[in-house]
A and B are shown apart, each in its own frame.
Chain A
Amino acid sequence: TSFVKKFRRATQSRASSNGGSGSSQGHYFLVPGATVATLLMLGVLHARRMYDDKKVEEAREKGIESEFQPDIKATYLQLLPLRSISRCWGYLTSMEIPVWLRPHVYRAWARAFHTNLEEVALPLDGYATLQEFFVRTLKEGCRPLDPDPQCLVSPVDGTILRFGEIKGAGAMIEQVKGFSYSVSSLLGASSYLPMVAAVDTDGETGEPENSSRENSKRSWWRVSLASPKFWDPMSACPMKGLFYCVIYLKPGDYHRIHSPADWNIVIRRHFSGHLFPVNERAARTIRNLYIENERVVLEGLWPEGFMAIAAIGATNIGSIKLSIEPELQTNRQRGKLLQAEPPEERLYEPEGVGMTVKKGDEVASFNMG
């Protein structure tokens, strides 16, 4: 407002010195006019987006599945420097907010993204930056664990997008109707995922153990590039009893990841990929969204067998911090142009046992930018 007032004063004084000509009157409306037009355009785009999302929501309530619709805009997203945008966003949100302004900013955030402020651990003015507020902890007892010992609990606050059993050749997970991605692409080709050869789909022998162990010995490069025909995950099937669940975290949700069970984390993989947005619209329009984006995969064993968590970053929430490995840095600026880098791996000690975490223990968190 002060800028506009100053600008008006400047243009008025210039207009008076020019004798109040018509052209200066035109300049007078130029900035406010452009601002109003931009705001109007953004408003219309936002309204259209909300209308589209509402239609999708209504369709889902009627049982109609949203289908994959390749979008030209999604293709152009690849041209944007999303990593730089993400890092810039991280820089902005790590700026300290004046104490008096903090409650207003966080209340506005909560109103926009439906955050429950009653369960926030600290008073609002205790969070110096928006980033700190975003990765807030909760008051003691806000997330009680289900007492049933024979249950698997949710690792995050969020919305269930997909779940089910992984079956069939290639062990595919459906992104949306009409488009799927393979679990081995998500977790990495050297995953310990229990697979069996396609010809032995109903087999209950020791074969899967051998094959998964053999796969784990091969590096990502050797499997995917140097010898693509040597081991083809697409020709293998998952063992019976392999399930998946995809949970989407909205910006207002609590963004820390907890262990869904007593679990031994044996290996961590960090895939440095793109940073596309991961909202529902993006899932409908960007092919291979979850296997293109930067992610951290934790893999290990729980009493019932294999378990893995893939934490997938996005443009606004680009970095993932591991409580069990604080030195891991994600969303780093990259000099290389090559996108398809092999994942960086770390085996946790002691070898073969890994790091033990209890049900409900915090294992990671998503950070802004």
Chain B
Amino acid sequence: STVVLIFQAPVKNKDSSSEFKFCIQRGDKIRVGEALGRWQDS
């Protein structure tokens, strides 16, 4: 079985300085509750 997650996340533009970044690599094993990505005010 497969799960596809599609979402909007913050990107840098004139209104916002925060930016979403994935913190995973292809082939990584991941578990429920572990971070897929983060966004921080730069």
Contacts and interface: CB of A to CB of B under 8 A. Distances in A.
A60 B31 CA distance: 21
Q: How large is the interface on A (under 10, 10 to 19, 20 to 34, 35 or more residues)?
A: 35 or more
Contacts of B7: 152, 242-244, 260-261, 302, 304-308
A146 B33 contact: yes
Interface string A308-331: 111111100100000000000000
Interface in B1-39: 1-11, 13, 18, 20, 22, 24-39
A43 B6 CA distance: 40
A111 B33 CA distance: 25
Contact of B30 (A160, A312, A314): A160
B22 to A, nearest CB: 5
Dominant secondary structure at the B interface: strand
A257 B4 contact: no
Contact of B2 (A153, A243, A247, A261): A247
A48 B11 CA distance: 45
Among the interface residues B4, B24, B25, which one has the most CB atoms of the partner chain A within 10 A?
B4
Interface stretch (A20-28, A76-84, A224-232, A248-256): A248-256
Nearest to A246: B4
Nearest to A145: B33
Interface in A156-172: 156-164, 166
A282 B28 CA distance: 19
Contact of A314 (B1, B6, B32): B1
Contacts of A186: 4, 6
Contact of B26 (A152, A160, A193, A249): A160
Nearest to A248: B2
Contact of B32 (A154, A290, A366): A154
A150 B32 contact: no
B16 to A, nearest CB: 9
A311 B3 CA distance: 5
Contacts of A156: 3, 30, 32
A173 B4 contact: yes
Interface of A: 60, 143-146, 148, 150-164, 166, 173, 183, 186-187, 193-194, 204, 239-249, 254-258, 260-261, 278, 290, 302, 304-314, 317, 360, 366
Interface of B: 1-11, 13, 18, 20, 22, 24-40
